Amino acid sequence: MTNATHDVIIVGGGAAGLTAGIYASREGLDTLLLEKWLCGGLAAETTSVENYPGFPEGVHGRNLMEKFKQQAQRFGTQIVEYSGVAKAEPLEKKVKIKTDNQEYDARCLIIASGGTPKKVNVPGEDDFYGKGVSYCATCDGPLYKGKDVAVIGCGDSGLQEGESLLAHVRKATFIEFLPYMNAAKILQERLQKSEKTDFLLNHMLASINGEDLVSSVTVKNRQTGEERKLDVSGVFIYTGFLPNSSFLGGIVELDTSGYIITDENMETSVPGIYAVGDVRSKRVRQIDVACGEGTIAAISARDYIKELI
C-alpha cells in the first residue's frame, strides 16, 4: 500500500459506500474503500430484497450487493476488506485514517459505516445470545425447523426477516412495543394472512427465559400491565440499529442518538467529510436511499477536490 494521498476514502462497503465508490471512480478520483468485514452491509443479510427497483421478482441481498461491489471495482475503486477504521483525524485539507495496522491519507472522507443491531436490554438477552437469541434470521432461521419463535419489532426489518422464518418454524409470534406496526403495508397484510403468525401489539418484551437454551419469553401488555409467558425456542430481535459513529471520536457533529448530521450535499460539520447511508441522521433508511446519498456525496467530493487543487 502506498502512502500517497487518495482523493477519496470511503469507510464502509454497504449500499451507500459502494455506490459512492462507483460514482467517485467514474469521476476519475483515486478511491479507496475500507470495509471492516466483507462488503455488502446490512442489505447482504436480507434474504429477499423486494423494494429495490429493477428486480420485479426480488433479489437475494447478498447477490445484489456482490454486483454493487463488482461495479465499483470495474471503475477502479480499490476495496480493502477486513479493514476496520479505528480513527479519523481531520488535518489541513486532508484527513488521516487509521486502521489497526495501516494509515491512509485522503483529501475527502465519505463515512458509510452503517449501524449495528440494537439490543432490547432485557434480562436473558445477553445470556442466551446464540442459545436462542438471534439478530440474524437469514443465518439462524433454518436451525429452528418446526419450532416456535418470537420476533421482536414489527418494523420493515422485523416483518421482512420474520417472513423468511416462516419457511422453517412452526409458529412465529410478532411482538411490537407500539400499538401499531411500522412495516410496509404489503408486508403486514401478507404476514397477517399466514396461519403461522400471531401478533401482540402494544406489548413489550420483559425477559427471555430458559435453562441452557431459551424456552420462553415474558411479555407485558403495555395497556393493562398484564404479563404472560410464551413458550418459544427462539427470539429474533429487530428493534432498530445503533449508528457506527464512535470511531469518529466526535470530530463531526452528531444528533442526540449518535447519527451524523449532514447538509443536503451529504457534507458533515467538517468540510470534505461526508456521511451517507444508515449512519446519517435522517428518517428513511432504505437501500435505494443509501444509493442516492452515496451518489450525492461522490459528486460533492468531486466538486470539493476541484476547489482544493
Partner 1 sequence: MEAGKPIKISDENFEEEALKSEIPVLVDFWATWCGPCQMAGPVLEKIAQEYAGRLKVCKLNVDEGRQTATKYGIMSIPTLNIYKNGEVVDRIIGVTPGYEADIKGKIEPHLE
Residues belonging to the active site? 136, 139-140
Q: Where are the alpha helices (DSSP H) in the chain?
A: 15-26, 61-74, 137-140, 156-165, 185-193, 287-308
Closest contact distance (angstroms) between CB of 139 and partner 1 is 4
Distance CA 177, CA 159 (A): 14
C-beta of 40 vs 153, nearer to partner 1 = 40
Pairing of strands 203-210, 214-221: antiparallel
Q: Which is nearer to partner 1, 7 or 278 (CB)?
A: 278
Closest approach, Cβ 106 to partner 1, in A, equals 23
Residue 111's φ and ψ, nearest 5 degrees, are -90, 120
Rounded CA-CA distance 182/132 in Å is 25
Q: Output the smallest distance, CB 48 to partner 1, in A.
A: 12
Cell of 296: 450525492
For residue 254, what is the DSSP state? B
Give me the residues that bind partner 1 (CB under 8 A), please. Answer: 36-38, 40, 44-45, 62, 82, 84, 129-134, 136, 138-140, 142-144, 212-214, 233-234
C-alpha cell at 221: 401488555
The grid coordinates of residue 188 equal: 403486514
> What is the four-CA torsion angle of 24, 30, 36, 38, rounded to 10 degrees?
70
Cα–Cα distance for residue pair 69/51, rounded to 1 Å: 19
Report the nearest approach of partner 1 to the CB of residue 53 (Å): 23
Please enumerate in sequence order all residues whose Cβ is within 8 A of that of 57, keeping only pairs 6 or more positions apart, or say none. none
Distance CA 81, CA 33 (A): 8
Shortest Cβ 107–partner 1 spacing (Å) = 28
The smaller minimum CB distance to partner 1, of residues 207 and 281, is found at: 207
Q: Which is nearer to partner 1, 136 or 186 (CB)?
A: 136
* C-beta of 145 vs 228, nearer to partner 1: 145
